[in-house]
Amino acid sequence: MTSSDWAGLIITIITFILMVVVYVHVFRPSNREKIEAKRDLPLDYDDRLSTEDK
C-alpha cells in the first residue's frame, strides 16, 4: 500500500470513531436537556444577523 492509501485509511478510521462518539453523545438520554436547550441556536443566529442588517 502506498502512503496515500494509508493516509486515507487512517482518516477514514478516525472519522468513523469520531462519528460514533458524536452519536453516543447525542443519543444519550442524560444529555437531552443540554441538547434541547441549544436546538434553536441556528435560527437565533439567523434572526440576529437579519436584525443587524436593518
Whether the Cβ atoms of residue 12 and residue 20 lie closer than 8 Å to each other: no
Domain that holds residue 18: 3-53
User: Structure pTM?
Assistant: 0.61
Report pLDDT digits (tens) over 7-46. 999 999 999 999 999 999 989 989 888 888 888 877 776 6
- C-alpha cell of residue 22: 458524536
Query: Which pLDDT band, with edges at 50, 70 and 90, does 54 fall under?
Result: low
If one counts the domains in the chain, the total is 1
- C-alpha cell of residue 34: 443540554
Whether the Cβ atoms of residue 35 and residue 26 lie closer than 8 Å to each other: yes
Alpha helices in the chain (DSSP H): 3-27, 32-37, 41-53
